[in-house]
Amino acid sequence: MRRAMAALPLRFPRLPKPELVHLRTPFRFPVLPPLPQAFFVSPRASSMSLASSPSSSSSTSSSLPVLTLPPPPPSGHAPHLPSVSSGAVDLEPYLGCSMPGRRLRVAVLLSGGVDSSTALRLLHAAGHDCTAFYLKIWFQEDFENFWSECPWDEDLKYARAVCDQVDVPLEVVHLSDEYWNNVVSHIISEYRSGRTPNPDVLCNTRIKFGAFLEAIASMEFDYVASGHYAHVVHSPSEDGPSILKLSKDSIKDQTYFLSHLSQSQLKRLLFPLGCLRKDEVRRIATLMDLPNKDRKDSQGICFLGKVKFSEFVAKHIGELEGVLLEAETGDYLGNHHGFWFYTIGQRQGLRLSGGPWYVVEKDVRNNVVFVSRNYFSLDKRRRTFHVGSLNWFSGALPENTEQLQCKVRHGPGFYDCSIMAVPGIDGDEDNLTVHLSEDDQGLAAGQFAAFYHGDVCIGSGVIMDSWDEKCFPICSKALEIARMEDKSKLGKPVRIMNLDAR
């Protein structure tokens, strides 16, 4: 299959190469271009341009009645939290990732969800001078006919209510051009090329901790915080590196999504939830009576908000009818609306009888999607792949390349792995050959591979493809049909009976 598609160039668009810089105040993000039209709107003030935005005023800490909690139990045991009826809570035992004992000026990214809201309250309890920021994406207005009301109204109402509880100022930041130029356009380009990009990694690197950091550079905040589940350990020395460590919650841990940040970005970040589990965050939110304490977690792609992925792809890439072929037999099973709607390993949305069916390959040139019911066969799994667009928090390939671990997707699972540097396609930077200790069934070009040494994330890169000899085999008949110019000659699709019925 790979050889059959060799005529189609598959060159991954290079992401901006992170630059290792020593932090100085004010911070200047080294990669992204100047912002053209970012501006702030405060709920307590009229609109103002970025150029004339004064530094945000200090938050006023309310004096709250305190119920002292017992100290956290030894590691491995869940801390005892008082009942909801116990009143206000002493949060000191839960401020380990909030830099207590120092009064810092912190810009807090607030989404309206319970995680970022709890992070804000922890920072406030730690004594910091907080200003909250809500990021708004105007390109969602392209989908305004899909909703009866503005999709971010509810988020913003919750964000304001949370800030009002402790008199923290809230600013609304418009970054539409930055989202489109640095994230959305790249996503569209990747899907058109048959790859599966990761919007959340790009969103963190280029927007939340990229364009936003640039936008507030003149406001002289000490740190930027968010509700991510990760733990950043900062060096006591200004010139020392910061370290990205796994969070306490292995299920919710988001270091994978943060693994492509530069060292200069990492130096500016605080993640107050890195020392907590999700159930603790929910419990604390209830004890503090946050307005969104019962709100469900967001499950959408970072930049899409309430837009369904299929709607986004259909609007910005379009639809083009193609065929679904069984990989082993070449049987014509049905039609699809464009290969870009599918990713390797996908099961949902195929609408084929006799399944379950899985996407196993895509012919980008001929708009053909190959499917199989044998996706989980042991002899068709993959463990060796190439990675490009490398980012190392230390600025260089680690010295020990044998005893590492790797994540190829978000989640608690790790693989032991070894890596080896190999020349890149252009010869101006190295790529990696990564060999996993176990087979993986869903390696997808365009996704990220994050690397770890113990509980420390050391960097990541973009999966270019699986380059071993165990790619899913496509039979010669299926390849021949895929190359047919007039596929109307295929006739009616073959209807496959369920395996259990045979």
DSSP state of 67: B
Residues involved in catalysis: 203, 302
Whether omega for the bond prior to residue 169 falls within 30 degrees of 0, making it cis, is: no
Tally of CB atoms within 10 A around 498: 11
For residues 36 and 22, what is the distance between their CA atoms, to the nearest angstrom?
Answer: 26
Q: Which residues pair with 385 in a beta bridge?
A: 434, 466
Residues 6+ apart with CB under 8 A from 76: none
For residues 117 and 103, what is the distance between their CA atoms, to the nearest angstrom?
Answer: 19
Contact status, residue 316 vs residue 152, Cβ threshold 8 Å: no
For residues 203 and 302, what is the distance between their CA atoms, to the nearest angstrom?
Answer: 7
Nearest by Cα to 456 from 253, 189, 213: 253
For residues 462 and 449, what is the distance between their CA atoms, to the nearest angstrom?
Answer: 6
Phi/psi for 395 (5° steps) reads 95, -5
Per DSSP, the three-state class of 358 is strand
Per DSSP, the three-state class of 153 is helix
* Cα-based torsion angle of the residue sequence 213, 218, 220, 223 in order, rounded to the nearest 10 degrees: 0
Residues 6+ apart with CB under 8 A from 21: 30, 262, 263, 264
